[in-house]
């Protein structure tokens, strides 16, 4: 499905803003775009932030600025151009004709990285669905471009499978993909129900891409989830078990990373994967404290959580990579601002004990230790009302009743007869 080029592609990056107040944000976004190109296997030969009074519907840039870039790109011997803004089909076609080079936008680049890093059947299906949903409204005027695609960044996925760009056939393929993903979702739901029956609390590790979520999961559970210093290195949800110092067993899940301007087609396609967080009892939002503006990562993640209706979940902000932070005063201010929060280094282990302690206290708000005394005459209800709890439950058979101690969620307690509770 994917094709690797024989040499590293060389890209020039262009960002366009129309308000001076957006300068700082766009500079950070352009630096992030450079990381995305690197993650896609390319290199960056230059970048420029362009200020305009308004966006040009034909070129995004002014025609004069586009012509100026044409000369600059030839001198730099670039393979292609990446725009930090989403381009319309007309803008894409006009810019490619003027530059004589491949032109892609931020969304296409992110979709390409997802295609590159999707390894499971579910991941590949979700990426292809996102790419086709993005391609469908852009078919007009793209026949020539699609017919001459020769591989490389921005072309991985359905473009290289020579799928006919007929709307009807693409819609049929989208329908097939959705059905396949729904079947996988049913299987995932079955697995999820098994975990819910186990009664173990679920902690979802979420946050911006490349903040160290997989490294943290490995540190906590001694697992071997893929760790790579690239954006979106891991796309598939990983679930691991950890026994806290007090003996409580907890499940930790590592989810796909977020990013500023995450394509809506990807959010929709990966909704089934992100739904894992719906069942979490606690969210660990991991933030890269070594970045110039860690608050930006929190804002982007919060926006996506709002879209997924998850802002009401208990959450801990985890400021990671503090071994790379020089200004500890600023770090302490961030911790105070985003309470409950903790500072750690998943790489060195600094702050991990404090984080585990905070996790325990936050879980106690939704996961209560209760003592039950069940009359033998009602023992038949025990297994129906009290699911298997692994190490989080103990049962003792006394002469006049069954005594049980268990950590139960609020929804479990609502089902328990009040005369059982002691």
Q: Per-residue pLDDT tens for 137-183?
A: 776 544 444 444 445 666 555 544 444 456 788 888 889 988 888 88
Is 345 found in the same domain as 209?
A: yes
Burial of 160 (0-12, 13-18, 19+ CB in 10 A): middle
Residue 360 and residue 371 in one domain: no
Q: Answer whether residue 219 is part of any domain.
A: yes
Q: In terms of domains, do 229 and 253 share one? A: yes
Chain segment 260-299, per-residue pLDDT in tens: 777 676 676 566 566 667 778 899 999 999 988 899 889 8
Last residue of a domain, one of 132, 161, 190: 161
* Residue 223 CB neighbour total at 10 angstroms: 16
Q: How far apart are CA 13 and CA 48, in angstroms?
A: 6
Per-residue pLDDT, 319: 96
Cα–Cα dist 341/40, whole Å:
33
CATH code of the domain covering residue 51: 3.40.50.11060
The residue from 136, 161, 186 where one domain ends is: 161
CB 356 within 8 A of CB 221: no
Same domain, 360 and 373: no
Give the end of a domain, one of 323, 345, 364: 364
* Domain contains 177: no
Lowest mean pLDDT across 27-41, 158-172, 376-390, 401-415: 158-172
Could you tell me the residue range of the domain that residue 101 belongs to? 10-161
Asked if the structure places residue 192 within a domain, the reply is: no
- Which among 261, 297, 344 is positioned nearest to 30, based on CA atoms? 261
393 strand-pairing partners: 406
Is the same domain home to 216 and 151?
Answer: no
**168 occurs within a structural domain:** no
In a domain, 184, yes or no: no
- Collect all residues with Cβ–Cβ distance below 8 Å to 44 and sequence separation of at least 6: 10, 11, 12, 13, 34, 37, 38
Secondary structure, 3-state, the chain: CCCCCCCCCEEEEEEEECCHHHHHHHHHHHHHHHHHHHHCCCEEEEEEEEECCCCECCCECCHHHHHHHHHHHHHHCCCEEEECCCCCHHHHHHHHHHHCCEEEEHHHHHHHHHHHHCCCHHHHHHHHHHHHHHHHHHCCCCHHHHHCCCCCCCCCCHHHHCCCCCHHHHHHHHHHHHHHHHHHHHHHHHHHHHHHHHCCCEEEEEEECCCCHHHHHHHHHCCCCCCCCCCCCCCCCEEEEEECCCCCEEEEEECCCECCCCCHHHHHHCHHHHHHHHHCCEEEEEEECCCCCHHHHHHHHHHHHHHCCCCCCCEEEEEECHHHCCCHHHHHHHHHHCCCEEECCCCCCCCHHHHHHHHHHHHHCCEEEEEEEEEHHHHHHHHHHCCCCHHHEEEEECCCEEEEEEEEEHHHHCCCCHHHEC
408: domain CATH number is: 3.30.70
For residue 207, the model assigns a pLDDT of 86
299 within some domain: yes
How far is 59 from 53, CA to CA, in rounded Å? Answer: 14
Q: What is the pLDDT of residue 321?
A: 94
Residues 132 and 259 both lie in one domain: no
206 shares its domain with 262? yes
Task: Assess whether 92 and 226 both reside in one domain.
Answer: no
Domain tally for the chain?
Answer: 3
Q: Is the separation of the CB atoms in 61 and 94 below 8 Å?
A: no
What is the reported pLDDT for 150? 44
* 253 and 392 belong to one structural domain: no
Residue 86 lies in a domain: yes
Q: Give yes or no: residues 358 and 220 share one domain.
A: yes
Residues 304 and 248 occupy one common structural domain: yes
Same domain, 210 and 354: yes
- State how beta strands 393-397 and 401-409 pair: antiparallel
Residue 368: per-residue pLDDT: 75
CATH number of the CATH domain containing 285: 3.40.50.300
- β partners of residue 341: 317
What pTM was estimated for this model as a whole? 0.71
371 falls within a domain: yes
Radius of gyration of the chain (CA): 25
- Identify the weakest region by mean pLDDT among 233-237, 287-291, 399-403: 233-237
């Amino acid at each position: 499905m994917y094709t690797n080029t024989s040499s590293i592609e060389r890209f020039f990056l262009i960002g366009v803003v129309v308000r001076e107040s957006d300068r700082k944000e766009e500079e950070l976004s352009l630096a992030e775009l450079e990381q995305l190109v690197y993650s896609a296997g390319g290199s960056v030969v230059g970048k420029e932030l362009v200020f305009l009074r308004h966006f040009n519907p034909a070129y995004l840039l002014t025609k004069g600025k586009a012509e100026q870039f044409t000369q600059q790109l030839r001198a730099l011997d670039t393979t292609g151009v990446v725009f930090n803004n989403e381009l319309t089909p007309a803008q894409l076609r006009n810019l490619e004709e003027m530059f004589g080079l491949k032109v892609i936008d931020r969304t296409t680049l992110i979709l390409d990285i997802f295609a590159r890093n999707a390894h499971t059947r579910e991941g590949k299906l979700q990426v292809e669905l996102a790419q086709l949903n993005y391609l469908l409204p852009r078919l007009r005027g793209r026949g020539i471009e699609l017919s001459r695609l020769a591989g490389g960044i921005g072309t991985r996925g359905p473009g290289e499978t020579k799928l006919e760009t007929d709307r009807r056939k693409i819609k049929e393929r989208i329908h097939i993909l959705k059905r396949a993903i729904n079947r996988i979702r049913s299987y995932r739901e079955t697995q999820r129900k098994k975990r819910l029956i186990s009664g173990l609390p679920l902690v979802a590790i979420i946050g911006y891409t490349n903040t160290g979520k997989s490294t943290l999961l490995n540190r906590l559970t001694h697992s071997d989830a893929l760790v790579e210093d690239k954006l979106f290195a891991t796309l598939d949800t990983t679930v691991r078990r950890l026994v806290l110092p007090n003996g409580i067993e907890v499940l930790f899940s590592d989810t796909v990373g977020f990013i500023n301007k995450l394509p809506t087609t990807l959010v929709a396609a990966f909704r089934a994967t992100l739904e894992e967080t719906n069942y979490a009892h606690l969210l660990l939002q991991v933030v890269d404290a070594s970045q110039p503006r860690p608050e930006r990562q929190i804002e982007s993640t919060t926006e996506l959580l709002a879209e997924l209706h998850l802002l009401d979940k208990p959450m801990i902000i985890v400021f990671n990579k503090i071994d790379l932070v020089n200004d500890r005063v600023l770090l302490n201010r961030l911790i105070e601002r985003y309470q409950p929060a903790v500072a750690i280094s998943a790489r060195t282990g600094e702050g991990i004990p404090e984080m585990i302690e905070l996790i325990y206290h936050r879980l106690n708000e939704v996961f209560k230790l209760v003592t039950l005394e069940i009359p033998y005459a009602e023992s038949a209800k025990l297994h129906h009302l009290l699911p298997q709890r692994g190490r989080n439950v103990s049962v003792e058979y006394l002469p006049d009743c069954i005594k049980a101690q268990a950590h139960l969620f609020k929804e479990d307690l609502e089902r328990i007869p009040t005369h059982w509770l002691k």
